[in-house]
C-alpha cells in the first residue's frame, strides 16, 4: 500500500536517527533479495520507483552492481540515494489503466518480470484548495469513487510547522468516495493559522515475478492545501 505523507516523513526521520546501510547486489543471491516496485501518479504525471533490500522491507538497501539492472516498459531507472536509502526512479508516460512492466535482470539468470496496471485517477472535491478548516471539528473529505474492487483508498492530513501528529486513515474500500477525519485529529499544539495538506491515495497491487520476493503496486493521489484555524 502506498505510504501516506506522514508515514514517509516518519520513515525518513527514522533513517536520519538510526542510519541506513547498503551493499552491492552482486553479493546477494536472488532468493535473498526483496524488491519493491511502485508506479506513483498524480495530475497526469507518473513516476516508476524500484527499491531492493536484503531479506525483507526492513533490510539493508542494495546498490545494483555487476550487470544487475532494472527497467520499466523498456526504460532504464536511474539510481538515487538520500540518507542511505537507495532507490531507482524514472518519469514514465502516464497511462491510466495502462500496464507497467518492471524487468529485473541479472547475469546468468532469466529476467524477472513483474507487472501492474495503473489505477484510476483521484480528484478531491472537498475540501477545496485554500479552504479553512476549524481546529477541533471533524473534517469531511470527498473524492471521485473508483470502479475496481481490488483497489484500496487511504486519506491523510499533514500539518506543517506544528508538533501535533498528523492523521492517516486505515485502508478504505475501493468504492468509497468520502471519509471524515475525526475532530481530535484536526487539533494543533500551536495556536494561530496552521498550513495543512489533505491527501487521498488510490492503490492497486500487481503481480510479482515468480522467484522474486517483494511487492508491486500502482497508486494515484491528489492533495489540496488548506489552513487549520482557531
Residue 195: CB atoms within 10 A of its CB come to 13
Q: What is the mean pLDDT of residues 170-188?
A: 94
Q: Find the Cα–Cα–Cα–Cα dihedral 76, 81, 87, 92, rounded to 10°.
A: -50
CA distances from 210 to 38, 108, 217 (A): 17, 16, 16
- 41 and 15 housed in the same domain: yes
Q: What is the mean pLDDT of residues 57-85?
A: 96
What pLDDT was estimated at residue 163?
76
- 109 and 144 housed in the same domain: no
- 115 and 129 housed in the same domain: no
User: How far is the C-alpha of 117 from the C-alpha of 104, rounded, in Å?
Assistant: 18
- What CATH number is attached to the domain comprising 32? 2.60.40
What is the band of 54 on the pLDDT scale with cuts at 50, 70, 90?
A: very high
Last residue of a domain, which of 81, 103, 119?
A: 119
- 165 and 110 housed in the same domain: no
- 9 and 115 housed in the same domain: yes
Residue 65: CB atoms within 10 A of its CB come to 11
- 45 and 110 housed in the same domain: yes
- 53 and 139 housed in the same domain: no
- 65 and 171 housed in the same domain: no
Q: ω before 127 within 30° of 0 (cis)?
A: yes
3-state secondary structure of 197: strand
Q: Domains in the chain: how many in total?
A: 2
Closest CA to 227 of 174, 162, 150: 162
pLDDT digits (tens, 9 = 90+) for 146-160: 888 889 999 999 999
- 87 and 177 housed in the same domain: no
- 194 and 154 housed in the same domain: yes
Last residue of a domain, which of 119, 151, 180?
A: 119
- Mark residue 150 as left, alpha or beta (left: phi above 0; alpha: psi -120 to 50; beta: remaining): alpha
- Backbone φ and ψ for 225, nearest 5 degrees, come out as -90, 130
Last residue of a domain, which of 119, 144, 167?
A: 119
Say yes or no to pLDDT of 122 above 90. Answer: yes
What pLDDT was estimated at residue 175?
87
- 114 and 128 housed in the same domain: no
User: How far is the C-alpha of 171 from the C-alpha of 209, rounded, in Å?
Assistant: 25
3-state percent helix, strand, coil for the chain, nearest multiple of 5: 10, 50, 40
What's the whole-number average pLDDT of the chain? 91
| Domain carrying residue 98 | 5-119
- 73 and 50 housed in the same domain: yes
What pLDDT was estimated at residue 20?
60
Q: What is this structure's pTM? A: 0.86
Say yes or no to pLDDT of 218 above 80. Answer: yes
Amino acid at each position: 500500500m502506498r505510504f501516506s505523507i506522514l508515514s514517509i516523513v516518519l520513515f525518513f526521520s527514522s533513517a536520519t536517527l538510526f542510519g541506513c546501510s547498503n551493499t552491492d547486489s552482486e553479493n546477494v543471491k536472488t532468493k535473498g533479495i526483496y524488491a519493491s516496485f511502485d508506479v506513483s501518479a498524480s495530475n497526469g504525471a507518473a513516476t516508476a520507483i524500484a527499491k531492493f533490500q536484503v531479506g525483507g522491507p526492513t533490510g539493508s538497501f542494495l546498490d545494483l552492481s555487476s550487470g544487475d539492472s532494472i527497467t520499466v516498459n523498456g526504460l532504464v531507472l536511474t539510481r538515487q540515494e538520500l540518507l542511505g536509502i537507495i532507490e531507482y526512479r524514472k518519469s514514465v508516460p502516464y497511462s491510466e489503466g495502462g500496464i507497467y512492466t518492471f524487468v529485473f535482470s541479472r547475469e546468468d539468470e532469466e529476467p524477472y518480470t513483474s507487472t501492474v496496471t495503473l489505477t484510476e485517477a483521484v480528484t478531491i472535491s472537498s475540501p477545496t484548495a485554500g479552504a479553512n478548516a476549524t481546529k477541533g471539528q471533524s473534517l469531511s473529505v470527498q473524492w471521485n469513487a473508483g470502479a475496481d474492487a481490488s483497489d484500496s483508498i487511504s486519506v491523510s492530513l499533514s500539518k506543517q510547522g506544528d508538533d501535533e501528529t498528523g492523521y492517516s486513515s486505515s485502508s478504505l474500500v475501493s468504492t468509497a468516495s468520502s471519509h471524515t477525519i475525526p475532530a481530535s485529529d484536526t487539533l494543533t499544539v500551536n495556536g494561530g493559522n496552521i498550513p495543512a495538506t489533505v491527501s487521498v491515495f488510490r492503490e492497486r497491487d500487481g503481480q510479482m515475478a515468480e522467484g522474486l520476493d517483494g511487492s508491486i503496486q500502482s497508486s494515484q493521489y491528489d492533495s489540496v492545501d488548506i489552513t487549520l484555524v482557531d
